[in-house]
Homo-oligomer: A and B are copies of this chain.
Amino acid sequence: MAQSARNTVKSVERTFRIIGGLQELGGAGVTELSTHLDLPKSTVHNYLSTLEQEAYVVKADDEYRIGLRFLEHGAYARNQSPIFEIARPELDRLANETGELCNLLVEEHGKGTYLYRTRGENAVRVKEHVGNRVCLHSTALGKAILAHLSEDRVDEIIDRHGLPQTTERTVTDRDELFERLAEIRERGFAFDDEERLSGLRCVAAPVLSNDDRVLGAISVSGPSHRFEDHRFREELPKRVLETANVLELNVTYS
């Protein structure tokens, strides 16, 4: 796992570097992308035209953009997760009742990917979308997941991705993180008190399978001023835990 593959296909790496660049720029022309990635124009052109032929990229208005064909694979991957379909209606309900933003995150390759996000009436607008990948240590969702992985696995993840700081409250120390994870395991849910985004608070609970593997985590998040003490520390955790329990039951019997 740790050592990188020996015989790597460079063209594959390059393909996705180009896809990534295209997404970063939000669509681009050949020249623009080639300077952005520091690759020859012709190379970029060859890749883009091949990708376009395969419908992974669209050409419109003199610029290339990411195509919907990725959704074919992305949605498929999402449906492989046993909790997505089950969590959807329950999270919708939770969002409705709390009025806030609710999320579903799962771990893969040591990072978290948002599988679903649903908005209650007062939900904050954050720029993240479904499909975004985040470091696990800086969100309530991620910590809820980390708390239920083996210590070795957590070490491995930290080695791979580090503990990058996103706000002044982010936990960046390995030992402190492990302490927090122990608390979370005991308590049953996790907090994020502006550790990832200033002004944003979040409550998350893990979703466990019947053999205690962690399948993912769900959360409610909102602005700190609306997540004041009692609601943040008592009320919302109760709601999130209830929902997580429902999910665990539904996952087991389906």
* Contacting residues of chain A (22-57) with chain B, CB-CB under 8 angstroms: 23, 27, 42, 45-47, 49-56
A22 to chain B, nearest CB (A): 9
Please tell me how many copies of the chain the complex holds.
Answer: 2
Query: Out of B47, B68, B132, which one reaches A12, CB within 8 Å?
Result: B47
Contacts A129-B76, A130-B71 given: A8-B66 contact, CB under 8 Å?
no
Question: B80–A113 contact, CB under 8 A?
Answer: no
Nearest to A19 among chain B residues (CB) is: B73
A93 to chain B, nearest CB (A): 12
A8 to chain B, nearest CB (A): 5
C-alpha spacing A58/B107, complex, angstroms? 11
Q: Which of A11, A74, A78 has the most CB of B within 10 A?
A: A74
* A254, CB-defined interface residue at 8 Å: no
C-alpha spacing A78/B56, complex, angstroms? 13
Contacts A71-B74, A75-B130 given: A50-B8 contact, CB under 8 Å?
yes
* Contacting residues of chain A (107-165) with chain B, CB-CB under 8 angstroms: 108-109, 111, 113, 115, 129-133
C-alpha spacing A69/B77, complex, angstroms? 9
Interface footprint category on A? 35 or more
A71: chain B residues at CB < 8 Å are 74-75, 77-78, 113, 115, 130-131
Question: B70–A70 contact, CB under 8 A?
Answer: yes
Question: B72–A109 contact, CB under 8 A?
Answer: no
A67: chain B residues at CB < 8 Å are 77, 108-109
Contacts from A to B (Cβ < 8 Å) = 4-9, 11-13, 15-16, 19, 23, 27, 42, 45-47, 49-56, 58, 65-80, 106, 108-109, 111, 113, 115, 129-133
